[in-house]
């Protein structure tokens, strides 16, 4: 069944011009949009239905297999073109346990097997989709699962984790090392008897685990896990199914799904929400991708000469601005929320996506649960093939209510630029970084005491609300703090590294933005100086949990910072006007010291006035504060809410390379 031809006008070479046996479109924007769900397989014991959106195809077939990886198809079914460019087929009988692929014919050429663009279950390595009953994957208690309470996005504390890093070390005491199930095990201990795993997360006090990409990705061979090949997972293959390398049996499609749900259920019971790192901006490959084998050209942007856009730096960039890609992304996010009970999403290279799509995603998530947290990288690796004012770049965050972005202003103001590991900043005692840090402390909003001309990257505020800024100092694709400080400041002692680490995180956790830490920083992890460890072995990436005992003071400090933030709403006002009203920077002589106060019962806090001083100097600093008696809760790398003594204004002395936090009753 074929559609009549339409004259092609001004189409790029990637739009398959010159075809005579199918309908042709003047532009990608004119392709029909499939109505309703994008589901590609509907299973019932008596009948299975197949659907594939491929409006430019000459023919489409469904191939059925007994195995998820090996052998030839035992049956081929011709699909019939229906409405909106969607092909349909059905097969009577119970197909549960079978596998399938689609194959699209275009210009007398079969494009090759694909599990489709929207597989919900796959065989090993994701080359074939699986026919299962999703209800069979729900663990016991799944129907009673409830998201942990979250009153405001200002209450969020993010903890970025890679499954393998977190549990693979023998020191983790975890049985299911490197697996989803690692986060279901309770009572695990380090060799020194300190809690690890999910007990560690509860003890620390984070609210959200941010999981590095956990959907099906291409770079790790799931059939050869004994090779221990490592990757972060930023190479998408099937967006809507968990990766098999983190399951205990990648050959059985239902196992990875059930174990992912078990993980979410265990974290929810522990009071911890779950964020998934999503990489809709590019795919692992282009010509052989599921997208390209389904509707060539449509799902990717092209340059004016017809070559692939490459804003991801990985060979392609997806076209979120095209109606079906936008619909796909929205539906994918909704699927993860509804099927897997996820609580948030971190968008990789969010700046590649258009603003309209991100706002549609926010709207769809809010209709399910407005407390779902969405944030991303407000930049791209290269210039996308759309105008900057239409993209979800950091500078446009104020146009995306309810969506946050990472602040490289406070990050690099504290520790130095991403592009040069050896270049230090505030922590290394270098001047002129104060305004960049203040920018982060107020949450990236307009504040009368922040001179944006002195901010490193943004000469204007980009957040409408402070909860739109992610405050952080390190993450997976960068040096961890121990390595960075050792590189910034050659010859620095371990004691001084710990001091500066605590100082840096004090800035992060007293910021009005949303705090974010990289897993293992709380136990002073290192990666042996490796900046980009995406393919490094476990010897580089694994967290050594013996460090928790070795650096017990650092762990206690991180835990104390989270408790301070949780107990005192002045540190998380959550509103731009409230920040402008209650947060006042204090005058300081010289550089490398920042002081501010949270005044006038800020946020309804029981503490009348809070003063925070960050001193990166190698000597004592003197700071003028309002007169009165103050109770010290943070000094010399120790936090104690019950008090560490008293000080009196108007002059305070702040020890070198440390933070001072104190309050008046």
What are the residue numbers of the active site? 348, 377
Sorted by sequence, the CB contacts under 8 Å of residue 371 that are 6+ apart come out as: 147, 150, 153, 343
In 520-644, alpha helices (H): 538-541, 547-550, 552-567, 576-582
HEC assignment per residue over 364-425 = HHHHHCCCCEEEECCCCCCCCCCCHHHECCHHHHHHCCCEEEECHHHHHHHHCCCCCCCCCC
CA 264 to CA 336: how far, in whole Å? 11
Best CA proximity match to 43, nearest among 129, 140, 125, 138: 129
In this structure, is the dihedral angle defined by the CA atoms of residues 162, 470, 419 and 520, taken in order, positive or negative? negative
CA 62 to CA 46: how far, in whole Å? 18
Sorted by sequence, the CB contacts under 8 Å of residue 81 that are 6+ apart come out as: 1, 2, 3, 57, 60, 87
CA 93 to CA 376: how far, in whole Å? 45
Sorted by sequence, the CB contacts under 8 Å of residue 609 that are 6+ apart come out as: 597, 598, 599, 600, 626, 628, 663, 664
CA 273 to CA 267: how far, in whole Å? 7
CA 433 to CA 488: how far, in whole Å? 15
Tokens for 513?
């933005």
Q: Are 198 and 184 in contact (CB under 8 A)?
A: yes
CA 414 to CA 437: how far, in whole Å? 7
Report the DSSP pairing between strands 75-78 and 59-65. antiparallel
CA 609 to CA 108: how far, in whole Å? 75
CA atoms within 13 A on the CB side of 655: 13
CA 453 to CA 470: how far, in whole Å? 21
Tokens for 295?
């509707």
Instruction: Say what angle helices 434-441 and 494-509 make with each other, to 10 degrees.
Output: 50
**How many Cβ atoms sit within 10 Å of the Cβ of residue 423?**
15
The DSSP string of 25-76 is: -SSGGGS----S----EEEETTEEEEEEE-TT-SEEEEEEESSSSSS--SEE
DSSP code at position 656: T
User: Phi then psi for 33, rounded to 5 degrees?
Assistant: -105, 125
CA 507 to CA 512: how far, in whole Å? 10
């Amino acid at each position: 069944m074929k559609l009549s031809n339409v004259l092609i006008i001004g189409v790029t070479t990637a739009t398959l011009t010159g075809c005579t046996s199918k309908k042709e479109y003047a532009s990608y924007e004119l392709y029909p949009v499939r109505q309703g769900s994008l589901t590609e397989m509907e299973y019932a014991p008596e009948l299975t239905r197949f659907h594939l959106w491929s409006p430019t195809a000459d023919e489409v077939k469904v191939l059925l297999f007994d195995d998820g990886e090996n052998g030839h198809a035992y049956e081929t079914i011709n699909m019939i073109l229906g409405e909106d460019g969607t092909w349909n087929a059905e097969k009577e009988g119970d197909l549960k346990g079978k596998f399938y692929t689609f194959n699209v014919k275009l210009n007398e050429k079969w494009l090759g097997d694909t599990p489709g663009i929207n597989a919900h279950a796959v065989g090993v390595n994701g080359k074939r989709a699986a026919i299962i009953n999703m209800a069979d994957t729900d663990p016991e208690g799944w129907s009673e699962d409830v998201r942990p309470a979250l009153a405001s996005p200002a209450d969020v504390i993010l903890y970025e984790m890679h499954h393998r890093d977190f549990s693979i070390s023998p020191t983790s005491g975890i049985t299911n090392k490197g697996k989803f199930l690692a986060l279901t095990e309770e009572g695990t201990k380090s060799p020194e008897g300190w809690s690890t795993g999910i007990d560690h997360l509860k003890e620390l006090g984070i609210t959200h685990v941010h999981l590095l990409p956990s959907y099906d990705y291409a770079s790790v061979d799931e059939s050869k896990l004994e090779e221990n090949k490592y990757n972060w997972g930023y190479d998408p293959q099937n967006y809507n199914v968990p990766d098999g390398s983190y399951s205990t049996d990648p050959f059985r499609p239902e196992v990875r799904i059930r174990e992912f749900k078990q993980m979410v259920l265990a974290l929810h019971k522990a009071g911890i929400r779950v964020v998934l790192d999503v990489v809709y901006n590019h795919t692992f490959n282009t010509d052989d991708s599921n997208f390209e084998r389904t509707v060539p050209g449509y799902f990717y942007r092209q340059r004016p000469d017809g070559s692939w856009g490459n804003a991801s730096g990985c060979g392609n960039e997806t076209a979120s601005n095209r109606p079906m890609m936008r619909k796909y992304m929205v539906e994918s996010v909704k699927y993860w929320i509804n099927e897997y009970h996820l609580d948030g999403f971190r968008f990789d290279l969010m700046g590649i996506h258009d603003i309209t799509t991100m706002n549609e995603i926010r709207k769809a998530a809010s209709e399910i649960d407005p407390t779902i947290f969405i944030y991303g990288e407000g930049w791209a690796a290269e210039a996308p093939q759309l105008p900057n004012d239409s993209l979800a770049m950091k500078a446009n965050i104020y146009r995306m209510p309810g969506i946050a972005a990472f602040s490289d202003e406070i990050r690099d103001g504290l520790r130095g630029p991403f592009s040069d590991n050896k270049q230090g900043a505030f922590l290394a005692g270098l001047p002129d970084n104060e305004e960049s840090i203040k920018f982060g402390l107020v949450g990236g909003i307009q504040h009368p005491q922040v001179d944006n001309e002195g901010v490193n990257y943004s000469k204007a505020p980009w957040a409408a609300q402070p909860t739109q800024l992610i405050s952080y100092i390190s993450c997976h694709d960068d040096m961890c703090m121990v390595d960075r400080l050792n590189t910034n400041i050659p010859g620095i002692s371990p004691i001084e590294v710990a001091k500066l680490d605590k100082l840096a995180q004090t800035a992060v956790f007293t910021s009005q933005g949303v705090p974010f830490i990289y897993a293992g920083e709380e136990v002073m992890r290192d990666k042996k100086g490796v900046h980009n460890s995406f393919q490094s072995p476990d010897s580089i990436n694994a967290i050594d949990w013996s460090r928790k005992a070795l650096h017990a003071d650092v762990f206690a400090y991180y835990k104390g910072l989270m408790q301070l933030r949780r107990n005192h709403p002045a540190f998380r006002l959550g509103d731009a006007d409230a920040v402008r009203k209650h947060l006042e920077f204090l005058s300081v002589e010289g550089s490398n010291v920042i002081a501010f106060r949270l005044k006038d019962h800020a946020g309804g806090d029981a503490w009348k006035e809070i003063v925070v001083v960050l001193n990166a100097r190698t000597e004592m600093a003197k700071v003028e504060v309002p007169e009165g008696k103050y109770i010290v809760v943070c000094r010399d790398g120790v936090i104690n809410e019950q008090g560490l003594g008293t000080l009196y204004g108007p002059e305070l002395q702040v020890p070198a390379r440390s933070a001072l936090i104190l309050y008046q009753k």
